[in-house]
Amino acid sequence: MGQPTFVPVPDIADELGASVPKVQQLVRERQLLAVREAGVLRVPAEFVQKGEVVRGLPGTITVLTDAGFADDEILRWLYAEDDSLPGSPIEALRANRGTEVKRRAQAAAF
């Protein structure tokens, strides 16, 4: 998958069938990560699938945050190729292989 495809929060809101304030709340609650580019808050498009936040993503964000990872480090980790998965952690989460990703996140934490 490589690099995230960042899209504006209103696009994520549309995909989730939610309001912009609700998506902003998900970011504050660390269910999603976002970056601000040119004043616009953007979320990786890959974090949403079939109208929902990708299953296992919030827990993975929590594990890595608790381990001291900054948001940019979490994003790099999620999109880094991992031959043992195979693919990247975000690809594995999207393929419903969250247990494997969580194990790797916990290992990365130590």
pLDDT digits (tens, 9 = 90+) for 58-109: 999 999 999 999 999 999 999 999 888 889 999 999 999 999 999 999 988 7
- Write out the H or E segment, with its range, that includes residue 104: helix 98-108
Q: Could you tell me the sign of the dihedral formed by the alpha carbons of 62, 11, 48, 75, in that order? A: negative
* Per-residue pLDDT tens over the stretch 25-39: 999 999 999 999 999
Q: Helix count (H) and strand count (E) of the chain?
A: 6, 5
pLDDT band at 1 (very low <50, low <70, confident <90, very high): low
What pTM value is reported for the model?
0.93
Question: Which residue type, as a one-letter code, is found at position 91?
Answer: E
